[in-house]
Structure 1
């Protein structure tokens, strides 16, 4: 099994509803995001996936979030936790790449590359992961 990873970042504000603590107040993070792709089959160039395509998709999705108040985005239902952000970015990458003719969707038994996980770091020591397995 091969795995590749690319990284992007964005800065955004948010607050958490239904939370009792300092994170219920508006605050911001410099988020770091990792996108992981796995697969068993390399292309004719000996690569699992062209880093450029994966980075472009990840950066496009992160750009939509950059310098925003994440609570303003309906998709997060007023609770933009790191877990929900990771899921949003995961599905956003899939959609961006499908638009480019690259399908990284997971199918049981598939040996071709698929998006395995997205990690969202709020800080260097706090990470949430959305994964298909």
Structure 2
């Protein structure tokens, strides 16, 4: 089995609805998404996937949707205020946790036809959440 891994760095803001701790407040992170691709075969160049190809694919979407953006649950009461103020917001159907953001990126990579097996999101240097299909 062959694997390749590509890291994407971006910044985002969020808050978690109904969280008991300080994550209930608006705050931000410098995140690293780690995309793992896997294949039993290599392409004609001897690669699972060219690093720049997967990097460009994911970076373009992340830059358009997540980077320097506020990620909020669709039920967040501050959402209408930020939208009325013209702020850029990415609306999620669930809490914008590291786990759910990892799943969001995984689904995008998978929809692009890449052999993704796992996406991990470093929310901080010491906190990592991952999503992979069962």
TM range (shorter): 0.7 to 0.9
Offset at 1:76?
4.0
| TM, length-normalised to structure 2 | 0.81
Which contiguous aligned blocks of 4+ residues in structure 1 show a shift greater than 4 angstroms? Answer: none
Deviation at 1:29, TM superposition (A): 0.2
2:122 maps to what in 1?
121
Unaligned runs of 5+ in 2: 73-88
User: Where do 1:81-120 residues align within 5 Å?
Assistant: 81-95=97-111, 97=112, 103-104=113-114, 114-120=115-121
Q: Give me the whole-angstrom Cα distance separating, in 2, the residues matched to 1:87 and 1:60.
A: 17
Partner SS for 2:34: strand
Cα RMSD between the aligned structures?
Answer: 1.3
Q: 1:131 is matched with which residue?
A: 132
Map residues 28-39 of structure 1 onto 2, 5 A cutoff.
Answer: 28-39=28-39
Count residues in correspondence.
117
Kindly state the Cα deviation for residue 59 of structure 1 after the two structures are TM-superposed.
0.7
Tell me which residue corresponds to 2:14: 14
Contact 1:30 1:123 in 2 (8 A): yes
Q: Output the CA distance in 1 between the equivalents of 2:122 and 2:93.
A: 17
